[in-house]
Amino acid sequence: MDRNRCRRHRNPLLRQVEEDIKTEQCKRILGKEDIPLWRGRGDIYRQKFSSKETWENMRNPNAKWDPWHSIWFSSATPKFSFVTWLAAKNRLSTGDRMIKWNSNVNPKCVLCGDFIETRDHLFFECTYTQTLWKALAATIMGSDFTITWASLVEGMSRPLGKSVTSFITRYVFQAAIYSIWCERNGRRHGEQHNSGEALFRKIDRIVRNRLSTIQNKMKKLTPRQRKNREGDVKDESDGEARGALENVCVAIADEDFGDDMNDGNGGDDVNDDNNGVAVEE
Residues 89, 38, single domain; the answer is: no
For 24, the domain range is 12-58
Residues 39, 107, single domain; the answer is: no
In a domain, 272, yes or no: no
Residues 34, 108, single domain; the answer is: no
Between 127 and 25, the more confident residue is 127
Per-residue model confidence as pLDDT tens digits over 135-180: 999 998 889 899 999 999 888 877 655 577 888 999 999 999 999 9
Per-residue model confidence as pLDDT tens digits over 93-124: 999 999 999 999 999 999 999 999 999 999 99
Q: Which of 127, 128, 107, 129 is nearest to 118 (CA)?
A: 107
Residues 71, 180, single domain; the answer is: yes
Contacts (Cβ under 8 Å, ≥6 apart) of 217: none
Could you tell me how far CA 146 lies from the centroid of its own chain? 17
Whole-model pTM over 0.75: no
Residues 50, 98, single domain; the answer is: no
In a domain, 124, yes or no: yes
Residue 72 binned pLDDT confidence (cut-offs 50, 70, 90): confident
Rounded Cα gap, residues 205 and 152, in angstroms? 23
**Domains held by the chain: number:** 2
Whether residue 195 contacts residue 135, with contact meaning beta carbons closer than 8 Å, is answered with no
Residues 175, 240, single domain; the answer is: yes
pLDDT value of residue 173: 95
Q: Which of 136, 169, 158 is nearest to 257 (CA)?
A: 136
Residue 4 binned pLDDT confidence (cut-offs 50, 70, 90): low
Residues 234, 134, single domain; the answer is: yes
Quickly count: other Cβ atoms within 10 Å of residue 128's Cβ: 24
Whether residue 231 contacts residue 76, with contact meaning beta carbons closer than 8 Å, is answered with no
Rounded Cα gap, residues 105 and 55, in angstroms? 40
